[in-house]
Each structure stands twice: as structure tokens, then as C-alpha cells.
Amino acid sequence: MLSNKELYRISKRVYREGILQGQLQSAGSDQARFLEKIDKDKMQRSPDIILKIMSAIYIAGLVTIPIFALITIHSTLSSGIDSSWVTFVGSLSISGFLIMQPAVLLIFSFMFTWGLMSGGPYKWIHTLPIGRKDIERIGFFTFLRSINVQLISMFLVLPASIVVSIVLVLGSEISILSLVLLIITSLLLSIINLIFDLSLLVIVSRKMAIIMGDQEINSRKTNIIRVLSMILYMTVSMGAMYLIQIAIAKIPELYVLQSWSADTTNIVNIILSIIPFPFAGGYLITIMAMDFSNISGVLLGGSILGIILFIFLTYLIYKKALSTLRQITSTELKKYSKTKKEVFVTDIEIKTTGPTQAFLKRDFAIITREMSSIMILIMPFMIPLYMLFIPMDEQLFIGPAGLSIEMIVMLFYVSMVTVMLVVSLTNIESGGSTITASLPISVRDQVKSKIPHFVGTIPLAYIAAMFMRVGTSQFTTMISFALAFLPAIPIIGLASLFFKSLLFGKMKHKIVLEEIKNENKFVKHVLVFVFTFVLMGVFVYVSAFGFLHLGIAEVVSAILLYITYNIMYPKQ
């Protein structure tokens, strides 16, 4: 048996291994160069830290919800609204926050954890003389490590919000005993919540990892299932966030809308307070923040019972999560269904096509089978999905042409998706191969094969996004704006592609798309992003002067783009 401290130290290796494997996977034939880099550059070794901090900050941002809820409870209570109704609405707000926490954790931490849930990174540990139990604990610690910053942030949010509200209002209004109880309860609740959310994350990540499967199984069917479940996952999580946000924003309006009698409210309160998650916690905090005034003992008892049930529920889920972790760290787990049908080869035959078509075919084979290029398939769906969830704002229009804020946001969102597509598409060229490296490749053919994505797929997704608003009052205006901007979409896509190949590739007769000039990778990627956004910004700015101006700008830039294309990738 090793000490926990030692195991936590070992888990660092496993975690790094997981990250490195991912990086190597995407480095492809560039691995040698990548390894040379990583030796020198410390930042390259922790590519996760920025994302970690960002999601921790997002989680910390949730602190405003309970603060706002607690302050509102007090102001409404003193304004003479029925206390049982205040308890009801206040508890709903706090419960909304409690349910928001796991949702945010799932959405933002998922990317860190599902890679660890495939079992891959644990393989080499089994070659070391470490006991089974210890390996399980290493599995647990590795998982913790992958979201440690977020967890700390998450743990602190509720107690912090309580402290802030005490300083702001509660301190002068409720008794010392209630204050102390409130702080203790929030700490307790925070701990239980943390374990609950963490376990939930383990279970969901594992489910997802199973669906996503091992990187080795490059079957097309698996990949389609992967894509569908990713899209489902995104739709559900974005939808849930959207609904919760709306709910949290609308709940305070309920205070003045009491629609049942006080007696009914009391009964509803008691029933809800027994439901372990998220209501029991919401009620308990609310009760204490109200200094137990006008609170029936039954309600207090109900919510305490609810909390006990919540602890029990958490225990169950925690057990389940532990056994999930156990499965991951045990190597025997992998049971692939070996039902693949035998293929008998009858003919060895070569069918040649033009080079551009050959690239297209190769890309298709890779995109539909490989995990690393899964984003290329998902990206186009993200555009209409996004449209489904951004709030509609009919008031804000800019410039004489009356471009709505919503439309501008949409255009920049499309630009972002475009850059991401550029990055993933060009990665195909470096993933794979000494084979490509040794072929006499004409850059023009190579680039040509990427054009359909920007001329076909992205514009289609963009139009589809507009149809998400079919039937609404703004649909006709939207579609005419959308059509006016339609030519700009492929223009910025291709410009972005050319710009990336200019920064990363060698010019003239070399393979441009492969990342040859690999120094300052991060800065260059940022430049590509900025370049694309600025370009879109120019189009948006010009459009403010009217559609005619926009049209001229589009024609001019299309011509410039064509000239650039011929200069950068000349016919041979």
C-alpha cells in the first residue's frame, strides 16, 4: 500500500501521459518536431491550464446567482409578501443554482475527463509493481487532477456567496446563531454537492468514453454514432443551460405573482423540501437566510430529511462512480465485439482518379473514421444549433441597413467555426504520414480538395441556421441579410485557409498544408483567428453602408482571393 500522497504524485504522470497521448495523436507525422519543442517549451506541456482556469472562472461567476437570490428574499420579505410564498420562490432560485452547478461542471469539464475514461493512459501503470487497490486510487486521483482547479472554484462558490450576502445585507438582519448555521450548512452542502457532481461527472464521462470508443477502432459506424452523440450532448447541454438561465432570470418575477393560497403553498413547500436534489438544499439555505421566521417545524424537518436523503443518494452515486473507475483502471475491461465479418479479397485492382479527387477521397476516409478529425463533422452542425439557443433580440439594430446584433453575433460565430474547420482540415495533412511526405504532391491539388468545405458545407449550415427561425417575425429580414452575406462566408473561409498555409507551410513547390514552419505555433494560430475575424469585421462594417457596398466588397475580395490563389498555388 502506498500513501495517498505518493499516489497523488503518481497520478500526475498518468494525467500527463493522457494529455501527451492526445497531443501526439494530433501531431501525426510531426511527432519528432513536436517532441523537440516540448523539451524546450514548458507551456506546451500544460496546454490544459488556460482552459482549466477559464472554466473555473466561469464556475466562479455563478456566485452572483445565490447572492442575488438571498438579497431578493430579504427585500421581498420586508415588503410584506406572504412568507410561505417568499420561501417558495427563494428556494426555487437557490435550487436553480444548485442544479446549474453540475450542469456547468458537466459541460465544461467533460473535455478534460472523457479522455481519461478510456483506460488508455492507465495501461502502462499495470506494468509497474503497484497493487490493484492502489491503481484504483490512482485512477481516482488522476480524475481529480484533471479538474482540480474547477473543483476548488466550485467548492467555494456557495460559501462565498453566503459570506458576501452576509456582508451586504444579512449580517445586520438575522441572528448570530442563524449566521453561524448558515455558513456551516453552506459548507456542508458544498461538500455533498461536490461529491455528488463529481460522481455524476465520472459516470457520464465514462458513458461518453464508451460511445466514443477507443481511437484504434476506426470503423465508420462507430464514428457516426460518435458524431450523433456529440451533437445530442451539445444540444441537450446547451438547451439545459439555456432553460436554466431563463428560469433563473424569470424566477424573481414570481414574487409578485402569488397564485395559490398560503395553505397550498405550505404544502407544496413541504413536498418539495423532501426532494433531495436540488430542492432540499435550496430550502434549507432559504429557511436559514430567513432567520427561521414564520417557518413551520414541519418544513424545517422536511428539508433536513431531504438533506439526509441527499447524502444517502450521493453515497449511492459515489459508490457507482467508484466501481466505474475500477472498471477503467482494470485492463481486462476491453471487450470488443468481434463480430466483424471476414472480408475475402477477390481482386487487387488499382483505380486511379485525378489528384484533387484522390485527396477528397482520402479526406473522406479519414474524416469519417478518425476521432481526431471528428470536429470536422460536428462543426457544421454547430452553426444551426447555436442559432437555436442564442436569445432573440428584436430591438437592437445597427447602421442604416439595420443589421441586427443577433445577425452580427451569428456572422462572427460562423467565422469562428470556419477557423476551427481550417485548423482541423489542415491537420489531416500532417497526421499520417511519411507516405504523403514521400509523394510528389502538387500543392494546388491539395488546396483544391479543401475548397468544397468552405464553398459548400459551411454556407449550407449557415443557411440552415437561418431556417431555425422560420415562422418568427424576423425571418424575412434575417434571410435577406443572410443572403447578402452569403458570398462573404466562403471568402473568409478560403482566405483563412490560405493565410494559415502562408504562415505554416513552405511556399512554392512544397507541401504547404503540412505544418512545416512550426515555430511560434500558438501565436500563428491566434493570428489566423484574428485575421479571419478582422476580415468578417470589415464585411460587417461595409454592410452598414448598405447592401450595394457589401456586394461590391464581396466581388472585389473574391477577385483578390482568386489572384492570391493563383500566386500562392500556381499551375505547374
Ligand X SMILES: Nc1ncnc2c1ncn2[C@@H]1O[C@H](COP(=O)(O)OP(=O)(O)OP(=O)(O)O)[C@@H](O)[C@H]1O
Of 438 and 572, the one with the shorter C-beta distance to ligand X is 438
- Tell me how many degrees the CA angle 205-210-214 measures, rounded to the nearest 5: 115
Which of 59, 367 has the CB closer to another protein? 367
Q: Is 435 in the site for another protein (CB under 8 A)?
A: yes
Measured from the CB atom, the residue of 193 and 424 that comes closer to another protein is: 424
| Cα distance between residue 1 and residue 8, in whole Å | 13
Q: Choosing among another protein, ligand X, none, which partner's interface includes residue 180 (Cβ < 5 to 8 Å by kind)?
A: none
- What is d(CA 16, CA 3) in angstroms, rounded to the nearest whole number? 20
Cα 314 from Cα 335, distance rounded (Å): 30
The count of chain residues that interact with ligand X, using the rule CB under 6 A, is 3
Contacting range for ligand X; rule: CB under 6 A; set: 32-40, 221-229, 346-354, 438-446: 32-40
Which one of the spans 29-37, 72-80, 231-239, 299-307 is the region binding ligand X (CB under 6 A)?
29-37
The site map against another protein for 462-501 (x = CB under 8 A) is: ----------------------------------------
Do 286 and 91 touch, CB atoms closer than 8 A?
yes
- Give the three cell numbers for residue 30: 510531426
| φ, ψ dihedrals at 218, nearest 5° | -95, 55
- How deeply is 220 buried, as exposed, middle or buried, from its count of CB atoms within 10 A (0-12, 13-18, 19+)? exposed
C-beta atoms surrounding 235 within 10 Å: 14
Interaction between residue 355 and another protein (CB under 8 A): yes
Among another protein, ligand X, none, partner that 348 touches (CB below 5 to 8 angstroms by kind): another protein
Nearest to 331 by CA among 135, 142, 123: 123
Pick the binder of ligand X from 36, 41, 393, 394 (CB under 6 A): 36
Strand-pair partners of 398: 403
Q: Closest approach of Cβ 35 to ligand X, in Å?
A: 6
Q: Would you count residue 365 as binding another protein (CB under 8 A)? A: yes
Q: DSSP alpha helices (H): ranges in 370-457?
A: 374-389, 405-430, 434-437, 443-448, 451-452
Which residues is 404 bridged to in the sheet?
Answer: 397
Binding mask 12-31 for another protein (x = CB under 8 A): ----------------xx--
Q: State the alpha helices, DSSP H only, in 82-219.
A: 83-113, 132-146, 148-165, 171-173, 176-212
* Length of the chain in terms of residues written: 572
Asked if 123 interacts with another protein (CB under 8 A), we say no
Print the binding letters for residues 425-444 with ligand X: x by CB under 6 A, - otherwise.
--------------------
Quote the least distance from Cβ 516 to ligand X, whole Å: 13
**Given the complex with another protein, which of 152 and 217 has the nearer CB atom?**
217
Residue partners of 155: CB distance under 8 A and separation at least 6:
190, 191, 194
Per CB under 8 A, the list member of 49, 439, 483, 523 interacting with another protein is 439
From the list ligand X, another protein, none, pick the one residue 354 interacts with, judged by a Cβ distance below 5 to 8 Å according to partner type: another protein
Which listed residue (43, 180, 298, 358) binds another protein by CB under 8 A?
Answer: 358
Q: How far apart are CA 445 and CA 450, in angstroms?
A: 9
Could you give the string, one character per residue 318-347, with x where binding to another protein holds by CB under 8 A and - elsewhere?
-------------------------xxx--
Report the residue number, 36 or 41, with the smaller CB distance to ligand X: 36
Under 8 Å between Cβ of 289 and 309 = no
| Span interacting with ligand X, options 31-39, 40-48, 276-284, 416-424, rule CB under 6 A | 31-39
Q: How many residues bind another protein (CB under 8 A)?
A: 40
All three cell numbers of 90, joined, read 427563494
Q: Residue 71: which H helix or E strand, with range?
A: helix 64-78
What stretch of H or E contains 372? none
CA angle 521, 526, 527 (to 5 degrees): 95
Taking the complex as a whole, the smallest distance from the CB of residue 25 to ligand X amounts, in Å, to 18
98 — phi, psi (to 5°)?
-60, -35
215: CB partners within 8 A, 6+ apart: 25, 118, 120, 370, 371, 372
**Partner from another protein, ligand X, none binding residue 355, C-beta < 5-8 Å depending on class:** another protein
Based on CB atoms, which residue is closest to another protein, 288 or 375?
375
Q: Residue 216: in which H helix or E strand, if any?
A: none
Residue 369 interacting with another protein (CB under 8 A) = yes
Site for another protein in 190-229 (CB under 8 A): 216-219
| Nearest C-alpha neighbor of 19 from the set 2, 6, 34 | 34
* C-alpha–C-alpha distance, residues 201 and 78, integer Å: 40
Q: Does 510 bind another protein (CB under 8 A)?
A: yes
Contact between 348 and another protein (CB under 8 A)? yes
Smallest separation, CB 40 to ligand X (Å): 10
Query: Which of the stretches 112-120, 166-174, 433-441, 453-461 binds another protein when contact is defined by CB under 8 A?
Result: 433-441
Tell me which of 213, 252, 399, 432 binds another protein, using CB under 8 A: 432
32 lines the binding site for ligand X (CB under 6 A): yes
Is the C-alpha dihedral spanning 473, 477, 483, 488 positive or negative? negative
Name the site residues for ligand X (rule: CB under 6 A). Answer: 32-33, 36
Name the site residues for another protein (rule: CB under 8 A). Answer: 28-29, 36, 39-40, 216-219, 343-345, 348-355, 357-358, 361-362, 365-366, 369-370, 432-435, 437-442, 509-510
